[in-house]
Structure 1
Amino acid sequence: MNEKKHLNLLGLAVRAGKCTVGEESIIKDIQKKRAKLVLIANDTGHQTKKKLIDKCSFYHIPYYLIEDRDTLSHAIGKVGRVAIAVLDQGFAKKMQSLLDESIRG
């Protein structure tokens, strides 16, 4: 029912300019503690996924493995994206609660 709410919110966050895409940019934002939440597509390559998860864990940034790259890319209106960092605390908090809700489902 509401499993797509986080994707709608993600689209809003992107349009509001509160997100970073691209592996290098995301890692920089994690290191600078600008990233409040990182979303990683389930079908991301092993190396990339591991690198992002390790960085998030080290810097205590919450992360979620979400739908596949096509779903993620479609939600943000870009092609071939495997991860996105949310830089706004408000968007990040709301997204986490929606994701936790859909996980508990």
Structure 2
Amino acid sequence: MNTRILSLIGIARRAGKIGSGDAQIEAMLKKRKGFLLIIAEDALGAQKKYIQWAGDLKLPVVVIGTKLEIGNSIGLSPRSAVLILDQGFAKAILLARS
């Protein structure tokens, strides 16, 4: 697990630049908002649904960590996915992944 990515997700949340939870992510994707979708490795149902949707929107996807790790990184309960709403945070996370 890349702790740098988790730290960046946490900073993005504190800056108000993420969407989390199925309802919020779906609403944002319908509005074509977001620059990066992060999905937990253990969220098989969410992976299928969101990867298809992200592909249609040409949105990069990172599958990393567990639902618990992602939830902890943003200070909330376990999360299947997080949508990064800021281009700068999205670029930083993609670079940290390399």
* Structures share fold, TM-score greater than 0.5: yes
SS of 2:63's equivalent in the other structure is strand
Q: What letter matches 1:39 in structure 2?
A: I
SS of 2:62's equivalent in the other structure is strand
Q: What letter matches 1:47 in structure 2?
A: G
- Contact 2:46–2:81 (CA<8 Å) still a contact in 1? no
RMSD: 1.4
Distance 2:7 2:72 in 1: 10
Structure showing greater radius of gyration is: 1
Q: What letter matches 1:79 in structure 2?
A: S
- Contact 2:20–2:79 (CA<8 Å) still a contact in 1? yes
- Contact 1:31–1:59 (CA<8 Å) still a contact in 2? no
Q: Which residue of 1 aligns with 2:31?
A: 32
* Gapped regions of structure 2 (runs ≥ 5): none
The runs of 4+ residues in structure 1 deviating greater than 3 Å are none
The answer on 1:89 being equivalent to 2:90 is no
* Gapped regions of structure 1 (runs ≥ 5): none
- Give the deviation of 1:48 after TM superposition: 2.2
State how many pairs are aligned.
98
Q: What letter matches 2:93 in structure 1?
A: M
1:21-54 Cα shifts (integer Å, max 9, x gaps): 111221221232211000000000x332211111
